[in-house]
Amino acid sequence: MTLAVIVPEAARRFGDRPAFVVDDGPTLTYADLDRRSDVVAAALAARGIGDGDLVALTVASDLTYVIAYAAAAKVGAVTAGVNPRYTAAEQAAVLEVAAASLVVDPTTFAALEAEGATAPAAPALA
């Protein structure tokens, strides 16, 4: 079973129960995770990201990371986490080696959420 299957199944089974809780921050329910990762997945697919593509995540280990990670899985992409605390030169060195199809930083993530709201749904993975 893949994450692309697990996330919607968890949303179906657990709905509005908390999936992730951030101290002094928002709570992400299973339904929210599924819905928001669907939106980002649609934007990734619209940008041509799909099966086997590498998506580098240069976002903090927070809800943004979880949503982007699930969205990448939903389109068949793989992820590489890049520490956002690295200097610009350190990040550039890692990204050069990774040769990612897309780098998702906080600005890109916000754009993906906006784009995905109007993009066609990403094709379901088998």
pLDDT tens figures, 40-80: 999 999 999 999 999 999 999 899 999 999 999 999 999 99
The pLDDT value recorded for residue 24 is 84
The CATH code that applies to domain 3-116 is 3.40.50.980
Helices of type H across the chain: 3-14, 30-46, 63-74, 88-98, 106-116
- pTM given for the model: 0.92
Q: Which residues contact 110 (CB under 8 A, 6 or more apart)?
A: none
Predicted confidence (pLDDT) at residue 33 exceeds the cutoff of 50:
yes
What angle in degrees, to the nearest 10, is found between the helix axes of 106-116 and 30-46? 90
The string of pLDDT tens digits covering residues 75-105 is 999 999 999 999 999 999 999 999 999 999 9
The pLDDT value recorded for residue 126 is 45
Q: 125 pLDDT band (50/70/90 cuts)?
A: low
Predicted confidence (pLDDT) at residue 120 exceeds the cutoff of 90:
no
Q: 10 pLDDT band (50/70/90 cuts)?
A: very high
Please give the Cα distance from 28 to 63 (Å, whole number): 7
Q: What are phi and psi of 115, to 5 degrees?
A: -65, -40
What are the domain boundaries of the chain?
3-116
